[in-house]
Structure 1
Amino acid sequence: MNLFELVEQLFEQYGYLVLLIGLPLDFIALPIPPGNSTLTYTGFLTYKGIVEMVPAFGSAFIGAAIGLTITYILGYKLGMPLIERYGKWLFIKPSLVEKTQVYYNKYGNKLLIICFFIPGVRQFIGCFIGMIRVPYRTVWIYGYTGVAAWVISFFSIGYIFGEQWQYILNVVEHYLKVIFICLACSFLILLVWNRVKREKAKKLSNATRNE
């Protein structure tokens, strides 16, 4: 029995609890099965008439929203205390988190919607935005919008493309990884560029003061 046959069997036994429980597990870094595949296969099961669209989509959205909310609360309550205590072992200082918060406040809300599409990032975005104290109203607007967009997109792949869903999913995930690499490189370049600008400004200020 492969993974997707197991998911189908679980649907037969437990119904939409598969989504209500499975998707929150994806958000806490236990993607068994992976969220993208689960949503796409659920869309495929809807295409086959095995599950109904509205309950399936509603359960998927609620499950994913629960996962985001849980990780956000964990990050909000435990994030900074853990960084202050154990961050040095991971080379993460509280000052780095504070700087990251500044960048997020400037660029992050719209990126929050995109993050749900990227495996690996999705599992940690809730903890991250909780740790840097992103207001819950912002999470409600952008975070749950991102959740809805993610659920609709991958659910639709299975529902629209039917038997071809695995091929389409592989193509989509490949390009999402490329996009993630480009975003990560852009972020690193931005960090380096801002650091260089600060160093130049500091040297210029010191030179002016010495004259």
Structure 2
Amino acid sequence: MTEFILNLIAWGGYVGIFLLMVIENVFPPIPSEVIMGLGGMAVARGDMAMTPLLIIGTAGTTVGNVFWYAVGRWIGYQRLKPFVDRHGRWLTVHWEDVEKLHRFFVRHGLWVVFVFRFLPTFRTMISLPAGMAKMGLPRFLLATFLGSAIWNGVLAYAGLLLGSQFEELQDYVGPVAVAMTVGLVIGYLYRVVTWRPRA
């Protein structure tokens, strides 16, 4: 994966960064941590400048998230009810839970989107309920761009400061990510087994 990212950055420069960040948010398995970290390393080598890297990388993040926001708007909130009623056990939620989450999102959506930009995986997933709740597009874009700019800045400056050692972080990040994923799967299976429908 790192080789693919390096080749695309070498081929397209800032355009490569933009495309990678769009793709990363449409297909989350491509890690933004590596993309912006390698971008920071390019800044350290003098191949890029930090300001355009952050602006273009964050623009790519925002465009990628608009895709899932649009999907959420198209699906809509009420269309979920038959699906939740039928598959509540596997979703481990009741429709009343969905309604509560929807109301919370309508009230606090701007800050929810902003804060979730700092959380792995949820950075992209939060765009879907934002669309379903019909959050205003300007507010969504503002929260997404600002939150993503801060997070991308942290990653890019980490790449700048760590230099070539940034790539070695994958040796440690990989096992931690696997452990977290296993923990989430175990937690999900426990909820499925213990889930009981409400009267």
Q: CA deviation at 1:25?
A: 2.1
The residue that corresponds to 1:45 in the other structure is 42
Is the contact made by 1:26 and 1:35 (CA closer than 8 Å) also made in structure 2?
Answer: yes
Alignment CA distance shift 1:78-1:67 (3 Å)? same
TM-score, reference length from structure 2: 0.72
Q: Which residue number corresponds to residue 115 of structure 1? A: 116
Q: Are 2:5 and 1:4 aligned?
A: no
Native 8 Å contact 2:43 2:49 kept in 1? yes
Match of 2:186 in 1: none
User: How many Å separate the matches in 1 of 2:24 and 2:86?
Assistant: 26
Query: Contact 2:59/2:145 (CA < 8 Å) preserved in 1?
Result: no
How large is the RMSD of aligned CA atoms in angstroms?
A: 3.1
Query: What is the TM-score of this pair, normalised by structure 1?
Result: 0.68
Instruction: Describe the shift of the 1:63–1:88 C-alpha distance in structure 2 as closer, same or farther (beyond 3 A).
Output: same
1:77 aligns with 2:74: yes
Letter in 2 for 1:12: A
Do residues 147 (structure 1) and 130 (structure 2) align?
no
Is 2:33–2:155's contact at 8 Å kept on the other side of the alignment?
yes
- Aligned equivalents of 1:79 and 1:50: distance in 2? 44
Pair 1:26-2:24 in alignment: yes
Q: Distance in 1 between matches of 2:126 and 2:58?
A: 17
Q: Which moved more, 1:133-142 or 1:122-131?
A: 133-142
Higher helix residue share: 1
Deviates more, 1:60-69 or 1:77-86: 77-86
Q: Which segments of 5 or more consecutive residues in structure 1 lack a partner in the other structure?
A: 182-211
Find the structure with the greater CA-based Rg.
1
